[in-house]
Structure 1
Amino acid sequence: MKNRVVVTGMGVCAPNGVGLNDFIRSLQEGTSGIRFHQELQELKFSCQIAGKPIFNDDHLNKYFNSLQQRGLNASGIVYGVMAGMDAWKDAGLTMASKETPDWDSGIIFGTGILGVDKFRESIHLIDEGNTRRLGSTSVMQTMASGISAYLGGILGCGNQVTTNSSACTTGTEGVLMAYERIMAGKATRILTGSCSDSGPYVWGGFDAMRILPNAYNQEPEKASRPMSASAAGFVPGSGAGALVLETLESALERGAHIYGEVLGGAVNSGGQRGEGTMTAPNSEAVQRCIVEAVENAQIQKGEIDVINGHLTATGKDAVEIQNWSAALERSGTEFPFINSFKGMMGHCLAAAGSLECVAAFLQFKEGQVFGNINCEDIHPEILEVVDATKIPRETIAYRPKIIAKASFGFGDVNACVIFKAYKNE
């Protein structure tokens, strides 16, 4: 018999909120975490705005001691540790003893690029012949698996501890990887999530590609405009989201709070064939991914009542809506409610999927569908498919039953996961 898998803990380090309470409030009120960055202006970026988590040293001291902070760059690994430890605590779990690992608990925590500032600092020291000044944490901070290794050591997890990386799809893919391992009986619980570095060395390539908006440097909160006719490109973001997945049996035995259930999902790739490229999705692959996710979750297409899309605020948003409509065979007023949280966070790259999965589950908790900001001028091609009432501009009171969450990433890779509200049975 396959194990049922539920979510019992969550944590966030997001541009629009560090910690669940601040994050919930921002989502409910439509508060943007996108800000002007003087550094980007000085470096002559066209887009001088971005989403970056804001916290102070007092907050950092809650997660890292003075020794750990020595030589530690405040980037993706910091965001990931903060979100991951918060999720573990939120689930009511404790660290394993110093002598024996927790063999039943694992970590799947993804990233796109990690420790880029530390890597740059290391190169500089090496070129100057100062290798000995690199410090003991330089390797951990610059290897992709540094985040899962760091969390694994803090928590003492003895099951699978690994890092996945699939561009913007990373976080959503990680949820499915954790779900599949727990469902198959190979682990009791897994901390999953993803993180992304911040700063010019991460965002510079996108600015060079001219796919970021450059007309909103004086009005950063208005720049990220998913589903809008005036969308001018995605705003880069950073941060981390984390979720604790575990068997329903374990959660009930512990008396844990249950945010919701993971029913299943699918991952695939368009192979960069047909209309699919490194930066554009293959629509056939996207539709297949959605359909396969529905089938894997053993639900009907008509049961999905809320979608949290990828929807990055580019010209491809209308195509994504068309793909959802074709895959679910629903349109007009029959289309589910749909939202994108990137209007408030920007596109947090590898962290996007996990942050948005956390936000999706919070809609179960709050009995709400969070609104879409900056889409007062919904793209006309979207309105040909979806009734405007299905794209709420403000948070509405509605208790979702089944939420579909998808991410469609750089390299033509896709992931779609299906979540369900949990009721005591």
Structure 2
Amino acid sequence: MKNRVVVTGMGVCAPNGLGLQEFTKSLQEGKSGIRFHQELEDLKFSCQIAGKPNISQYHINKYFSPLQQRGLNASGIVYGVIAGMDAWKHAGLAIASKETPDWDSGIIFGTGILGVDKFRESIHLIDEGNTRRLGSTSVMQTMASGISAYLGGILGCGNQVTTNSSACTTGTEGILMAYERILAGKAKRILTGSCSDSGPYVWGGFDAMRILPSAYNQAPENASRPMSASAAGFVPGSGAGALVLESLESALERGAHIYGEVLGGAVNSGGQRGEGTMTAPNSEAVQRCIVAAVHNAKIQKGEIDVINGHLTATGKDAVEIQNWSAALGCSGTQFPYVNSFKGLMGHCLAAAGSLECVAALLQFKKGQVFGNINCEDIHPQILEVVDATKIPRATMAHRPEIIAKASFGFGDVNACVIFKAYKNE
């Protein structure tokens, strides 16, 4: 038991749902959280749609004290605190006393870029010679580790408290970092996850690259089209996902609910060599990462029955499916069921991996494989590899045994984690 790691709590702050109940329902029903944003039109963006959590003042008041709210202007921190606190609560864990930290619990919570709006606000004040008006929280809101620092202070974690950052691979990589720390006996439990800021100052660079779909401003829910022949680019998104990883021994001692087991995984990089670039993955590296994850998890390739891919709704989706096929040595009807949740929430950048891992694990709980939306016209190169029945359009009844989830990020970096349904043994 000391060498096994399980997931005992999860939380989400997503474009398609706040909290597990709303998030699960949207996944089951194929309800998109992608919306038109007037601000993007006013700023003359080509793509004027995005996935953004719907946060009200009620939520701010629920998760932040009046003192914490003073000068708070970092959406990623808001999303991360909401998801992280929910995951901790759902795991049945208490907040440490005011006097003593919880030495057995840590935090590995990643981000890509944090506090962009706070940076902008601070720059204006500094340029105007008003540094005294910056407030005491400007540093905490703009440092990358601000999210782990906020959560660490709220929960009182005394083990490792840190932030990782690996572009779109961040959340999945963080799960593996937490898994390895618990496996090594250095912590009993780790709150891991990732978050991403919202807004034009985050999404503008992608709009400038012309890799976002600009033809769907009047039909935002149809814009993100993973595995589709008509995919026109990824829809930017934001939010946060969080998971509590814990040693099986600790979970059983507490009588905790277990969402699934982390069997292992792998991370690597294509080195931006060969076909790999800053923005495109090296296929050999992707395949090596998947194969290494299977080996590390001590399973056979054929045991994987569901894949949750990175699958961003670009022309690279077909290449990703080809890489899965080559790595697992399967095709046609022997290929696992495969889905992408980016049709429902967009590509949430650094938050993508953690949000999608939460969604993948919920399939164990529900005994379902969540459907893919907007892929009525599956890409013909994908159909050369995978039988169409393995890409469910709607949520279907199937009790997964082993799920492989992968993320691939800018910088030619890769991560793949293997989850297993937990059964009392």
TM-score normalised by structure 2 residue count: 0.99
Q: What is aligned with 1:27?
A: 27
Query: What does 1:155-234 correspond to in 2, within 5 Å?
Result: 155-234=155-234
Counterpart check, 1:308 vs 2:308: yes
Q: What is aligned with 1:106?
A: 106
Q: The residue matched to 1:62 in structure 2 has which SS?
A: helix
Residues 74 and 116, structure 2, Cα contact 8 Å, conserved in 1: no
Counterpart check, 1:70 vs 2:53: no
Q: The residue matched to 2:110 in structure 1 has which SS?
A: strand
Corresponding residue pairs, total: 425
- Residues 277-308 of structure 1 show CA distances to partners (whole Å, capped at 9, x for unaligned) of 01110000000000000000000000000000
User: Identity of aligned pairs, percent?
Assistant: 90
Q: What is aligned with 1:38?
A: 38
Question: Bigger shift: 53-62 or 315-324?
Answer: 53-62
Query: What does 1:9-408 correspond to in 2, within 5 Å?
Result: 9-73=9-73, 75-408=75-408
Counterparts of 1:418 and 1:47, CA distance in 2: 35
- Residues 8-53 of structure 1 show CA distances to partners (whole Å, capped at 9, x for unaligned) of 0000000000100000000000000000000000000000000000
Unaligned stretches of 5+ residues in structure 1: none
- Residues 358-399 of structure 1 show CA distances to partners (whole Å, capped at 9, x for unaligned) of 000000000000000000000000000000000000000100
Counterparts of 1:279 and 1:222, CA distance in 2: 24
Counterparts of 1:29 and 1:188, CA distance in 2: 36
Counterparts of 1:59 and 1:408, CA distance in 2: 32
AA aligned to 1:227 is M
Residues 2 and 184, structure 1, Cα contact 8 Å, conserved in 2: no
Give RMSD over aligned pairs. 0.7
Residues 369 and 400, structure 1, Cα contact 8 Å, conserved in 2: yes
Counterparts of 2:161 and 2:357, CA distance in 1: 20
AA aligned to 1:212 is L
Unaligned stretches of 5+ residues in structure 2: none
AA aligned to 1:301 is K
- Residues 59-101 of structure 1 show CA distances to partners (whole Å, capped at 9, x for unaligned) of 2111001111111115000000000000000000011111111
Counterparts of 1:236 and 1:12, CA distance in 2: 17
AA aligned to 2:295 is E
Q: What is aligned with 1:423?
A: 423
- Residues 153-189 of structure 1 show CA distances to partners (whole Å, capped at 9, x for unaligned) of 0000000000000000000000000000000100000
AA aligned to 2:221 is E
Counterparts of 1:412 and 1:334, CA distance in 2: 29
Residues 14 and 239, structure 1, Cα contact 8 Å, conserved in 2: yes
Residues 176 and 417, structure 2, Cα contact 8 Å, conserved in 1: yes
Counterparts of 1:409 and 1:318, CA distance in 2: 17
Residues 227 and 379, structure 2, Cα contact 8 Å, conserved in 1: yes
Counterparts of 1:232 and 1:350, CA distance in 2: 21
AA aligned to 1:354 is S
Over 3 Å off, 4+ runs: none
Q: The residue matched to 2:192 in structure 1 has which SS?
A: strand
Q: The residue matched to 2:250 in structure 1 has which SS?
A: helix
Residues 264 and 293, structure 1, Cα contact 8 Å, conserved in 2: yes
C-alpha deviation, 1:55, in angstroms = 2.2
